[in-house]
Amino acid sequence: MKQKNSNLLPSERVNQEVQIRRDAETNIAFGCPPEERKIQDLINYGIVNINKPSGPSSHLIADYVKKILNLKKTGHSGTLDPKVTGSLPVALEDATRIVQTLLPAGKEYVALMRIHDTPPEEKIRKTFKKFLGKIKQLPPVRSAVKRRLRSREIYYSEILEIKENYVLFRVGCEAGTYIRKLIHDMGLDLGSGAHMVQLIRTKAGPFKEEKWHTLQDLTDAYEVYKKENNPEPLKKIIEPFENAVKYFPKVWIMDSAVSNICHGAPLATQGISKLTKDVSPNTQVAILTLKGELVGLGTAKKTTKEILSTNEGIAVKTEKIFMGREVYPKQK
């Protein structure tokens, strides 16, 4: 499905322009670019964007993935109702801790709405405009959260088709927005009521419909890997877990800084080689090696401009480390 440029989640609108602080090279003897990982390393630090079918719960889908790949653990990035289909990123093995970063990420859905009478098209479009930006929403009676009125943001909505009393539309929204309730509330505004007929999640943060796969796709690819020793089909399905932080502000660190970070030290400004333009204090940033490997996550203490202009102080307070301590040696 093609989209207009305005139909972007907030994370997709960030300024990812890279600023060079200090030119540096990386030693090919240590680590590995994510796209060149061996299949077992990819499985241990990978994410599968499953096109969830209608019926099973999100937890059950994650369990299916675990059994298909013979893993010890998997984790999904946010619950979809059993009848809802679409993008469900499932993290594998040591990548499961990364799903926490995806929980608050924006989501996009394509929904089919049935209005309980047949209002004029102009009235329908007027109602849709009312439900843009910050809205108040009371979660449904059967929901996983406390039932109290709360604020949620609708980033964009686009009517794709109106046919009699059916409306097909796309909506980008803040995590935790209930689309079924959104449709119900729009029905009340129309004066006749409305209900959701079908819902597909087309984006879960950086994971999109263009790169989702079915459970059968995964099963077939794993069988090819096991029986024919051919990992290529599986490599096309399992994404490096670095993709989960695709839209995060980023800092790339020199090889000499990696071991210290892996041992829990904060990131000093002088350890940074380059960074994106959108780094600012109190924002979560991804710490990467010069090969693009995710070392960990932390909270920035300076702006991009400040990091570029000084050689002193702490740039990022490290909080969650993903890379093993043995990957890069401690440098004297």
Q: For the purposes of burial, counting CB atoms within 10 Å of the CB of 284, is it exposed (0-12), middle (13-18) or buried (19 or more)?
A: middle
Give residue-wise pLDDT tens across range 46-99.
999 999 999 999 999 999 999 999 999 999 988 899 999 999 999 999 999 998
In this prediction, residue 3 has a pLDDT band, given cuts at 50, 70 and 90, of: very low
- Mean pLDDT within 167-177: 96
Q: Are 298 and 239 in contact (CB under 8 A)?
A: no
Report the phi/psi class of residue 193: left, alpha or beta, with left for phi > 0 and alpha for psi in -120 to 50: left
Instruction: Tell me the C-alpha distance between 317 and 321, whole Å.
Output: 11
- Of 113-127, 142-156, 260-274, minimum mean pLDDT range: 142-156
Could you give the C-alpha distances from 301 to 256, 305, 316, in angstroms and in order?
21, 12, 5
Instruction: Tell me the C-alpha distance between 48 and 43, whole Å.
Output: 9
In this prediction, residue 1 has a pLDDT band, given cuts at 50, 70 and 90, of: very low
Provide CB contacts within 8 A for 180, sequence distance 6+. 81, 140, 195, 196, 199
Provide CB contacts within 8 A for 124, sequence distance 6+. 115, 159, 162, 167, 190
Instruction: Tell me the C-alpha distance between 91 and 241, whole Å.
Output: 8
Instruction: Tell me the C-alpha distance between 41 and 238, whole Å.
Output: 11
Q: Are 249 and 300 in contact (CB under 8 A)?
A: yes
Give residue-wise pLDDT tens across range 205-220.
999 999 999 999 999 9
- Mean pLDDT within 159-174: 97
Q: Which residues are catalytic?
A: 81
Residue 212 has what DSSP assignment? Answer: -
Q: For the purposes of burial, counting CB atoms within 10 Å of the CB of 268, is it exposed (0-12), middle (13-18) or buried (19 or more)?
A: middle
CA 241, 243, 246: angle at the middle one, nearest 5? 140
Residue 256 is which amino acid? S
3-class state of residue 54 by DSSP: coil
